[in-house]
Amino acid sequence: MGAGHGHTLHFHGHSPVHRAPAHLKVLALLGFMLVVVATPRDWYAAFAVYLAALIVVVGVSRVPPTYLLKRTVVEVPFVLFAVLLPFVATGPQTEVLGVSVSQHGLEAGIALLVKGTLGVLASLTLAATTEPQDLLVGLERLRLPQQLVQIMAFMVRYLDVVTDEMRRMKVARESRGFSARNPRHWPVLARSAGALFIRSYERGERVHLAMLSRGYTGRMPR
Amino acid sequence: MHVPDGFLDAPTSVATGVVAAAAVGVALVKARKELDDRTAPMAGLVAAFVFAVQMLNFPVGAGTSGHLMGGALAAVLVGPWTGLLCLSVVFIVQCLLFADGGITALGTNITLMGITTVAVGWLVFKGLQLVMPKRLSLTAIQAGIGAFVSVPVASLLFVLLYAAGGTADIPLDTLATAMVGVHVLIGIGEGIITFLAVGAILAVRPDLVYGARPILARRELEIRSTATKTTGASA
pLDDT in tens, A146-191: 888 888 888 988 888 999 999 999 999 999 998 888 788 888 988 9
Q: Which residue of A has its CA nearest to B207?
A: A198
Per-residue b or e along B53-76, where b marks 16 or more CB atoms closer than 10 Å to that residue's CB? beebebbeeeeeeeebbbbbbbbb
**Contact A124/B99 with Cβ under 8 angstroms?**
yes
CB contact under 8 A, A118 and B7: no
CB contact under 8 A, B201 and A198: yes
| Residue A2 included in any domain | no
Q: Report which of B69, B61, B90, B12 is spatially closest to residue B186, judged by C-alpha positions.
A: B69
CB contact under 8 A, B24 and A112: no
Which residues on A lie below 8 Å from B13 (Cβ)? 34, 37
CB contact under 8 A, B5 and A201: no
CA atoms in the 13 A half-sphere facing the CB of A121: 23
Which residues on A lie below 8 Å from B40 (Cβ)? 147, 150-151, 153-154, 220
**Stretch A98-125: mean pLDDT:** 80
- Calculate Rg over the CA atoms of chain B: 19
Q: What is the pLDDT of residue A36?
A: 86
| Residue B65 included in any domain | yes
| Residue A4 included in any domain | no
**Stretch A80-93: mean pLDDT:** 72
Pair A20, A128 in one domain: yes
Residue A1 has pLDDT above 50, yes or no: no
User: Residue B16 sits in a domain of what CATH number?
Assistant: 1.10.1760.20
Q: Report which of B189, B50, B204 is spatially closest to residue A185, judged by C-alpha positions.
A: B189
Which residues is A93 bridged to in the sheet?
Answer: A102
| Residue B226 included in any domain | no
**Contact A100/A93 with Cβ under 8 angstroms?**
yes
Residue B115 in 3-state DSSP? helix
As a whole number, the mean pLDDT across chain B is 85
Pair A40, A126 in one domain: yes
For chain A, the domain total comes to 2
**Stretch B153-161: mean pLDDT:** 89
| Residue B121 included in any domain | yes
Distance CA B212, CA B177 (A): 35
Task: Quickly state the pLDDT bin for B229 (edges 50, 70, 90).
Answer: low
**Contact B118/B71 with Cβ under 8 angstroms?**
yes
Please state, as a whole number, how many other Cβ atoms lie within 10 Å of the Cβ of residue A42.
11
Which residues on B lie below 8 Å from A109 (Cβ)? 168
C-alpha B77: how far from chain center: 9
Last residue of a domain, one of A79, A110, A136: A136
The whole-angstrom distance between B194's CA and the closest CA on chain A is: 8
| Residue B47 included in any domain | yes
User: CB-CB: which of B2, B10, B103 is closest to A38?
Assistant: B10
Pair A156, A83 in one domain: no
Residue to mutate among B1, B13, B45, B95, with most A CBs inside 10 A, is B45
| Residue B93 included in any domain | yes
As a whole number, the mean pLDDT across chain A is 81
Q: Is the dihedral of CA B229, B230, B232, B235 positive or negative?
A: positive
* Maximum alpha-carbon separation in chain B: 74
| Residue A87 included in any domain | yes
Q: Which structural domain range is residue B20 located in?
A: 10-213
CB contact under 8 A, B96 and A135: yes
Task: Quickly state the pLDDT bin for A7 (edges 50, 70, 90).
Answer: low
User: CB-CB: which of A29, A132, A220 is closest to B103?
Assistant: A29
**Stretch B61-87: mean pLDDT:** 85
Angle between helices A103-129 and A76-88 (to 10 degrees): 170
Amino acid at B44: G
Which residues on A lie below 8 Å from B98 (Cβ)? 7-9, 74, 127
User: CB-CB: which of B39, B40, B49 is closest to A197?
Assistant: B49
Last residue of a domain, one of A91, A107, A136: A136
Q: What is the pLDDT of residue B227?
A: 61
Pair A67, A128 in one domain: yes
Pair A175, A115 in one domain: no
- Calculate Rg over the CA atoms of chain A: 23
CB contact under 8 A, B49 and A74: no
Distance CA B98, CA B130 (A): 40
For chain B, the domain total comes to 1
Per the document, the length of chain A is 222
Pair A66, A100 in one domain: yes
Q: Is A93 on the interface with B (CB under 8 A)?
A: no
Q: Which residue has the higher pLDDT, A162 or B32?
A: A162
Pair A29, A131 in one domain: yes
Distance CA B102, CA B86 (A): 19
Residue B153 has pLDDT above 80, yes or no: yes
> What is the secondary structure of A73-107 as a DSSP string?
GGGHHHHHHHHHHHHH--SSEEEETTEEEEHHHHH
| Residue A54 included in any domain | yes
Distance CA B180, CA B155 (A): 6
CB contact under 8 A, B46 and A201: yes
Last residue of a domain, one of A103, A136, A169: A136
Pair A111, A149 in one domain: no
The whole-angstrom distance between A105's CA and the closest CA on chain B is: 6
Distance CA A173, CA A180 (A): 10
| Residue B220 included in any domain | no
| Residue B29 included in any domain | yes
User: Counting beta carbons within 10 angstroms of the beta carbon of residue A49, is it exposed (0 to 12), middle (13 to 18) or buried (19 or more)?
Assistant: exposed
Q: Indicate the range of A33-37, A93-97, A132-136 predicted with least confidence.
A: A93-97
| Residue A10 included in any domain | no
C-alpha A104: how far from chain center: 30
Q: Which structural domain range is residue A177 located in?
A: 145-213
**Contact B153/B120 with Cβ under 8 angstroms?**
yes
**Contact B92/B162 with Cβ under 8 angstroms?**
no
Residue A30, CA distances (Å) to A83, A197, B24 in order: 26, 34, 19
Residue A207 has pLDDT above 70, yes or no: yes
CB contact under 8 A, B193 and A205: no
Pair A132, A114 in one domain: yes
Pair A99, A207 in one domain: no
